Amino acid sequence: MKTRITELFGITCPIVLSGMSWISVPQMVAAVSNAGGLGILATGPLDVDQTRQAIREIRTLTDRPFGANATLIMPGASENAKVLLEEQVPVINFALGKGDWLVREAHQYGGKVIATVTNARHAKRAEDYGADAVIATGHEAAAHGDMVTSLVLIPSLADVLKIPVIAAGGFADGRGLAAALALGAHGIAMGTRFMTTTESPLHATFKKLSLEKDVYDTLYSPRFDGIYCRVMKTDSAERALRQRLDLIEAFRNARDIARQLHLPFFKLFLGILASGWQKAWELARMANGFKAFRIATEDGDNDKGLLPVGQATGLIHDEPTVSDLIERIVTEAGRILNK
């Protein structure tokens, strides 16, 4: 299936693995790329040495194009992004920050850059400073979609952009891919659907829950990690909605994050305070959310953990291999488009 996305990135299927912390690890990235899609490494939980090692590991597992992401609001993200440039990662995906410098430096070695956006203003700005494509994240998506649904967001961006749009939020099967193409996108990015595959490192507890949940079984609130975020509806998530921010716990978690990323905590702490009260409050919630997401994903902790999932969790009914899933989606989409 050829689209502008397949031609731009040198892939055979217009399907992208979203860069999900603790999920989009080297083995998962390679599985998607080897199946014809574009795997994207999540660098959020990694320090610079781990990021470099992960990139090199991917290159031992696949000779196909792949990408890596940088969520620029996160501590250590800029340092990780510089590693992506040094390692000449074929595709760099950035979010929640200005990535003009990434575009400029990636283009010097022939790399491509995707900006993840939720509105036309940010999408147009990314196009203006040279981004090669955007991932348009609709309201249905896991984690940080905005208020506009994919059905409206995708055509609204396709109408004003010259660069291709990759649709994210609500996509889990061939019907979704066909719909995205009809709306003006040139491919889809999936996170929630890829979570429940054979190669996914998501803990079995949450894979099982993903198969059981309905399209209504998510919650959307800024109380999980400081900005509007969609997670699986569980007792733990409902408690998190009711609880006030625990600043002492946030301080401990921020210290753990600094240790994990090998960042000087005192410098990190002063930077948070200097960012202003509102931003500091968001980052405090983000520190608590970061831990809750990790223990859900890695440990299967359903008592304290929170798992970002999209509404598409209600469309998931099996745990296929990545290769089988991609083949099934492309075949179904082709059949629908032909009809």
Backbone angles phi and psi of 220, in degrees to 5:
-130, 120
Q: What is the pLDDT of residue 231?
A: 96
Per-residue pLDDT for 336 more than 60? yes
Q: What is the pLDDT of residue 247?
A: 54
Average pLDDT of span 238-252: 70
Give per-residue pLDDT as tens, 216-228.
999 999 888 778 9
Q: Count CB atoms within 10 A of the CB of residue 87.
A: 16
Domain 4-201+317-338 listed as CATH 3.20.20.70: yes
Average pLDDT of span 163-183: 98
Q: What is the pLDDT of residue 270?
A: 47
Per-residue pLDDT for 287 more than 70? no
Who has greater pLDDT, 97 or 33? 33
Q: Closest Cα to residue 159, out of 136, 191, 176, 193?
A: 136
Average pLDDT of span 39-67: 96
CA quadruple 129, 132, 138, 140: dihedral positive or negative? negative
Per-residue pLDDT for 301 more than 60? yes
Who has greater pLDDT, 256 or 164? 164
Q: What is the pLDDT of residue 277?
A: 47
pLDDT band, very low/low/confident/very high, at 284 (cuts 50, 70, 90) = low
Chain-wide mean pLDDT for the chain?
Answer: 90
Question: Do 9 and 112 touch, CB atoms closer than 8 A?
Answer: yes
Q: Map residue 313 onto helix, strand or coil.
A: helix
Q: What is the pLDDT of residue 282?
A: 56
Q: By mean pLDDT, which of 71-75, 176-180, 219-223, 271-275 is the weakest?
A: 271-275
In percent, how much of the chain has pLDDT > 90?
A: 77
What is the rounded distance in angstroms from the CA atom of residue 245 to the CA atom of residue 250?
8
284 Cα distance to chain centroid: 21
- The b/e string for 152-176 (b: 16+ C-beta within 10 A; e otherwise) is ebbbbbbeebebbbbbbbbbbbbeb
Average pLDDT of span 5-26: 97
Q: Count CB atoms within 10 A of the CB of residue 331.
A: 12
pLDDT band, very low/low/confident/very high, at 71 (cuts 50, 70, 90) = confident
Q: In the chain, which segments carry CATH 3.20.20.70?
A: 4-201+317-338
Give per-residue pLDDT as tens, 109-146.
999 999 999 999 999 999 999 999 999 999 999 988 99
Report if pTM > 0.95.
Answer: no
Per-residue pLDDT for 89 more than 50? yes
Per-residue pLDDT for 245 more than 80? no
Per-residue pLDDT for 323 more than 60? yes
pLDDT band, very low/low/confident/very high, at 265 (cuts 50, 70, 90) = very low
Average pLDDT of span 310-335: 97
Who has greater pLDDT, 306 or 77? 306
Q: Is 247 left (phi over 0), alpha (psi -120 to 50) or beta?
A: alpha
Give per-residue pLDDT as tens, 185-204.
999 999 999 999 999 999 99
